[in-house]
Amino acid sequence: MARTVQCVMLKREAPGLDRAPYPGELGRRIYENVSREAWGRWLQHQTMLINEYRLTPIEPKARKLLEAEMEKFFFGGGSSRPEGYKTPGSED
């Protein structure tokens, strides 16, 4: 039977992750409180941030920014899109 969590993002019980997706305390909190579906949403958001800000994830400064955004995405008020960002395929 799949492990479930009370997802902080979806506000309901949902299938959880198989392992902590990130090291340290933040990874533990995500493992305990974030569903697979919500993690997938983060991965899409993270990809958009990397592309829009032209980040190189192996650089310490970029990793710090992504970690801060991850914290906000799940446990803060949410991570914002870059100013002027338009969803691909939108009419704007």
Residues of the chain with pLDDT under 50: none
> In the chain, what percentage of residues exceed pLDDT 90?
80
44 and 38 in contact (C-beta within 8 Å)?
no
pTM: 0.85
For the domain made up of 4-75, the CATH class stated in words is mainly alpha
- CA distances 65 to 2, 44, 56, 71, 91, Å, are 32, 16, 11, 10, 30
Question: What pLDDT sits at residue 23?
Answer: 95
Average pLDDT, the chain: 91
Residues ≥6 apart with Cβ < 8 Å to 76: none
18 and 50 in contact (C-beta within 8 Å)?
no
